[in-house]
Each structure stands twice: as C-alpha cells, then as structure tokens.
Amino acid sequence: MSVTTMVTGLEGEKAPALQLETLLALGLDQRTAENALVNSKVTANLAAVIAEAGISGCDKSVGNLLYAVATKHPNSALVHRPALINYIVSTKIKSPAQLDAALSFLSNVGPEYLDIGKFEEACGVGVVVSIEDIHSTVAEILKENMEAILEQRYHINVGSLCGQVRKKHPWGDAKATKDEIEKRLAEILGPKTEADNVKPVKKKKEKPAKVEEKKVAVATAAPPSEEELNPYTIFPQPAENNKVHTEIFFSDGNIWRAHNTKEILEKHLIETGGKVMTRFPPEPNGYLHIGHAKAMFIDFGLAKERDGHCYLRFDDTNPEAEKKEYIDHIQEIVQWMGWEPYKVTFTSDYFQALYEHAVELIRKGLAYVDHQTGEQIKEYREKKMDSPWRNRPTEESLQLFEDMRRGLIAEGAATLRMKQDMQNDNKNMSDLIAYRIKFTPHPHAGDKWCIYPSYDYAHCMVDSFENITHSLCTLEFDIRRPSYYWLLVALGLYQPHVWEYSRLNISNTVMSKRKLNRLVTEKWVDGWDDPRLLTLAGLRRRGVSATAINSFIRGIGITRSDNSLIRVDRLEYHIREELNKTASRTMVVLHPLKVVITNLEDGKVIDLDGKKWPDAPADDASSYYKVPFSRTVYIEKTDFRLKDSKDYYGLAPGKSALLRYAFPIKCTEVIYGDNSDEIVEIRAEYDPSKTSKPKGVLHWVAEPAPGVEPLKVEIRLFEKLFLSENPAELEDWLGDLNPNSKEIVKGAYAVPSLATAVLGDKFQFERLGYFAVDTESTLEKLVFNRTVTLRDSYGKAGPK
C-alpha cells in the first residue's frame, strides 16, 4: 500500500507530496520510512532535505545520513544545511562519525559565517584513511592487546579493539576496521574450540570461584588489613564531594564533567550538618535476600561508622509489582538485621517534585513525548537512530505530557523520554524513558497519578532531594553512572558521590528476584521464608542469626572486584562459628532403634546430667539438663551394625559403646522382625561401674518412665536447593533443583528438657548438627529445622 503525506516547507509553501516509495528509494528501511511519514515535522524536514539534495534515489549509506540531517540538524544553523547536504551527496562526508562532527560544528557556528577550512578540518573532509592504514593500525592495536587476546581468545571485546583503532583513525571505514580485526583474530587464534563457544559469562563466574577459595587459604594466616578492620575507610568525607564524579562522553565529542559547584556543596553541607547520609533503597516487589544484607551492611554500616544517617527508602515507581506485604516485611527484616533507619521514605513521596522537574526538562529542550512502541525503541537504539518525534516542538511535548498526566492518552501510546544522546555507545544514554502511563492505583500514593517515573529518572533525583552523600549500588549499575549524572547536571541539582561494589553471588542458589518469585509462586518451595532459600526470612527461619550474616558479609569485604562465586560453605562457616558459642547442647535421635538394657531392673530410672556446654562448670546447675536413663533406650539405627570392623566405633554384636553422659553398654542379642533384614530391637547390658572404656560414644534417648514413649518431635533436614554451583547460568535452571533438598523426619525422639522449646531457641543436637525451632512448631507438635551440619568443609579454622 502506498503511503502519501502532504508537507509544508520551512517557509510555509506547499511541498510536493512525500510518498513511502520516495523514502524507500533513499535506502531507508520500511519501518523507519513509515514512522517518518506519521510525524509532520520529520516529514517536512525530509522533504526539504530531498529537495535541497536534488535527488530521487541514492545509496543506503547516503540516505541514512540525509535522514540524520533531517532529524538532527540544529535549527539555528539551517542556513548552512544545503552546504552540508552537498558534502553528503558528493560523498565528501560519508560516515556517521563525520556527520556527527559536522553537526556539532554547525551547532556552535549557528547562522554566522561558515569557515569552510575549519569546517572541513573538524569533520575530516579530504582525510584519506587507506585500507593499508587500517591494516597497519589494527596490527599495532592487536600487538598491544596480545596478552588479553591469548587469554580471552574469541571472548575478547572486539568493540573495544575497534574503539582503539578509531581513536587513531576517527574517519576510517568502521566496517573495514571490524572485518580486519576479526580476520586477524582468526589468523592468530585459529578455529574456534568448544570452549570458545561457551558463553563468556560462564567462564567469568566459574574461574573466580577457585580464586576465592585460594585467597581464603592464604588469608587465614595473614594479619587483618586496615580495610578488614574498618571496611568503610575507602569512602570519602562529605566535604570532599566537589571533585569530578565522572566524565560523560557524548558522541559529538562534547564532555560533561559532573561535579558539585562550591555553592551547591556548601548549601548541601549546611542542610546536612556535614553528616554522612546514605540510603537503602529496595523495591517492594519481593522478600529481601542475602544480597540485600550486603547492601544494608554497606549503606547502614557506613552511616553508623561515620555517625551519620541512613534512609530506608522504598523505590516504589512500579505500582503493578508492589505490595504492602513486601513493605511490611522489608521494614521488619531491616530491624531484625540490626539496622535502625533515620527515616522511612518512599520515592512516591516525591512524585510531585519529580513531575515538576520533568516539565522543566521539556522546557529546556531535554525531554520529549514519544510514541514509539517498546520494540521500536529497542530497534532504534540498536541502530543509533533518533525517534521521529525527538525534535517535536517544546510546546507540543508540554501539552502531550499534560494530557498524559490527565489520563487523556491510552496506556502504552506515549512515553516521556530524556533527550540524551542516541548515537552514544553507552545504551544507557540512548534517550531513556522518564515517564510511562499506567492506569493502576498506587499502593502508597493512591489514585492521584496515572503516569509513573522510571527508576532511571527518579533514583538520582530522590538521592539529591534527600541530600545523600554516598549513593552506593552494585556493579551492574556502573554503566548507568553517566545517565545518573546527566540528569542532575541538566537540572542543576546537588550530585551525590556514586560508588559501585561487587554483587554477592553464592553457590547452589539463585539470587534474582524474578527467579525467586518463580520458585515461590509456582510452589517449587514453601514460600518466601522456605529455609532452603537464601532470603533473609528463609535464613532466619532456618535458625541463622543476623549476627552470623553480618559477620559473613564483613568477611567477604566491600570491593569492586568481579562478581566471583562465593561457596555456600563460607556462609556456613560463620553460622557454625556463632552457634558453637550460643547453641546449647542436647540429644535427639532421628531414626530410633530400640535397645533394652537387660541388667537394669524394671521400673528403675536414673537421672543423669547432660552438659549444655562443653566447658560447663561443675558448680553451675544452669549449665546442665536432666537425662533419664531407663531400661528402654533408643539409639540411631546407623549406630548399629551386624558386622564389626576396626574403623567402626558404633555398637555391634558382642561389642561395647558408651552412651553419652551415661554408661557403657554391650550388645548381647539382636531381635529380628518378620524377616532377617529387619532389626526391631537390641538387647544389651550396661556397665554401672564404668570399668570398660569403649572408643565409640553414642547419643541416645530413653523412656522417661516405664512404658512411656519419649518426647516425639519432627525434624526437617535441608540440603542445597540446587545441584549445580551456579544454576543461574543454566537455561533449564529449574531442572537443576535438588530433589533431596528437604527431608522430614516425623518419628524422632528427644530428651524431655526439649518439651519447652519455643521459637527462637537454638540447639546443637549432639553428633547431628545445629537446629532451631520452626515457625510451625507448637507445644503439642515440636518442629526443628537443621540450620547447619557439624561438618565444616570451608576451612580448618572452623569448629568440627
């Protein structure tokens, strides 16, 4: 179908009808041409550019440059547009880099006299970069990077290599450069191996996991560094926040050096009293996990160490994903982790101020209302092409933005985008979305708004509004730093000091909220507080304390190193370290095997003392618990064998073992069930004088009175949730779930003193591990979760 649009020229005269076929003849693709025709301003500019060029068709490379002129040429220098078009048509300007330089030059000149010599020098007219030049420079750059090439092979960043060549030959043929680099790499490295085809992210994460273990082995013997003693020494003081934070590089060669002016910094210091101000800004769309514990340790910890303040700020810009349940959980879990917020705030508290600044951006020509779909925006970003609506009149965008606010435009039909730099290599400078339409009531702000700010738009400004001194986030936000400061510079706002640290990645689990949400909503686990998850609620339910978590976080440090995979054993080491000091000892038998003491008279019960602590003082009654010893006791099934061996210390026919805190017993008879494989009872004799000295020591539980069953409890044993160390890398990550990650033992026996155990109590069940009372436990049905085993595979420094 033919599309035709009547356009009006710059002087108001009617221009010839512009047809779709005309634009396709310029080499534009179908979608770009169709989008251009629905925007009257772009259509008018294109028609004028085609008329000035005096062509009806051209090569695609020329056509794309002419389209860029129509959408990007500065209005102040329209008098020079015909000259620029002539340079393009005559192929004196033939690359996007040259055109960007030309447009920048014309923007500075405006309507004044055009110095042709300076213009041509600025945009590389007449500069000839031969293929030989490119080949020579490529060889030079590859030689300089040879060590990295040989190490990374085909995972080397070709874009970075191209950029190094481009610095030496800014007007060279980009495609020829890339082709030559790829050709030379193939010659150097040869055919791709199987390892070369593995996604680079896998190699990056697998390799540091080994490095992390090696470092630990060395660190155990080394004295602590200053940063280990105080990890916050790396952060500057608030009064030092007048240095250049970052340089924002634009594709036209301009550079913004983001920093606070003396006046802005002085005003900030007066308002804060010079105190450190940080914020912990979770999005209330799920439960917090151990990665958030690291963020809290850094955000709250820095403020506490410097006698400052830390906000708990809910980043609630997406009303569809947020729930009051999550808000309540986050507030409660922050307190449990030992942190006290200075204030609890919401991004939505600042919706009015954010809206007013959006209007200011539009008035400054730094934002515009766009009608591209999400797919179109993605495509244009990849092609580094401006939206057809990018240069619409300011008043038009102001009116449309007001219509968006009033709910007069359909959801998805318009967005407000920041006018940043579509040709920038950093995609986070490609005109990010500032506002989108959502006809969804907000959990905190109610139904006042139907337009909501994006994270990229709101986050930096709310940091500024709250006078945050240190805006701390994980390393994946590093590439967003230019856009963070671009907005604050554009609006003349105070600029916090941004610093990124490495994410916390732990083996045999997943940390992304999206994956965690799937595990919960699809019922692969038993809720957000399932003890197998490394959510903070799950860890707490499992019996892990906030102290142990914070000790683990302090141990791994605050660094900008790569996101190496930390083995879960390292977390378990810190858990054992604390529980070894705080969990009292007691005895539970998981899988009971009945033992009848034949030489103990019927009805007799001997009350013995069990130690709650290994070094319990003899004169402190509170350090002991009562253990009844009667004619019927129970041991673990695994502590009895029919066939003895030298390396076995359990009970066997004719062999003795010591019952912990009681007496040695010797097996005298084995009672079988209906078949010879089923052992139902052991007969034994005890040594009341304790003259025998068996090597094996067994935990046990006895009937508290003749014929009375011991206290029955439910025990839940947990293993790693995933079989692989890094399941997040797997395409079928749900297929990696450990089918044996949870075992419920319903018929375990416990000593009587455990009958009063309540939520919050933690114990070491001797020879079995550390256990905590579960949230589902009642006095009628006691339930214990295994927190961690006694075995320590992390390092020799830990308790066994």
Write the DSSP string, 649-713.
-SB-BT-EEEETTS-EEEEEEEEE-SSTT-EEEEEEEE-TT-----S-EE--EE-SSTTPPPEEE
Of 168, 267, 384, 503, which one is the catalytic site residue?
Answer: 503
Residues forming beta bridges with residue 367, ordered by sequence position? 418
CA angle at residue 669 from 668 to 673, to 5 degrees? 160
pLDDT at 49: 87
Provide the pairing of β-strand 470-474 with 451-453.
unpaired
Residue ranges in the chain modelled with pLDDT below 70 = 1-17, 38-41, 76, 199-229, 562-563, 792-800
Beta-bridge partners for 5? 18
Q: How many whole angstroms separate alpha carbon 114 and alpha carbon 125?
A: 15
The DSSP line for 562-604 is: --PEEPHHHHHHHHHHHHHHHSEEE-EESSEEEEEETTS-TT-
For residue 283, indicate whether it is catalytic: yes
d(CA 668, CA 654): 6
CB 569 within 8 A of CB 797: no
Q: Show Cβ contacts of residue 166 under 8 Å, excluding neighbours closer than 6 positions.
A: 97, 172, 174, 177
Closest CA to 275 of 466, 469, 462, 495: 469
Instruction: State how beta strands 742-750 and 624-629 pair.
Output: unpaired
Residues facing residue 740 across a β-bridge: none
Identify the bridge partners of residue 592 per DSSP, sorted by sequence position: 636
Type of residue found at 369: V
The residue annotated as part of the active site, out of 283, 500, 719, 725, is 283
**pLDDT score at 206:** 40
- Measure CA 412 to chain center: 28
- According to the model, what pLDDT value does residue 104 have? 78
* Catalytic residue from among 405, 480, 513, 762: 513
CB 9 within 8 A of CB 48: yes
268: CB partners within 8 A, 6+ apart: 238, 241, 260, 467, 494
Strands (E) located in 454-599: 470-474, 497-501, 505-506, 565-566, 584-586, 588-589, 592-597
- DSSP summary character for residue 767: T
* Residues present in the chain in total: 800
Residue with tokens 């007969």: 683
Q: Is the Cβ–Cβ distance between 269 and 300 less than 8 Å? A: no
Nearest CA-CA partner of 715 in 786, 631, 616, 768? 786
> pTM of the entire structure?
0.71
In this predicted structure, what is the pLDDT of residue 223? 54
Instruction: Report helix, strand or coil for 521.
Output: helix
Distance separating alpha carbons of residues 153 and 162, to the nearest angstrom = 16
pLDDT tens digits for range 407-452: 999 999 999 999 999 999 899 999 999 999 999 999 888 899 999 9
pLDDT at 629: 97
Cα 510 from chain centre:
10
**Quick check: is 540 catalytic?**
no
Nearest by Cα to 449 from 407, 408, 412, 416: 407
Which tens digit of pLDDT belongs to each residue from 288-330?
Answer: 999 999 999 999 999 999 999 999 999 999 998 888 899 999 9
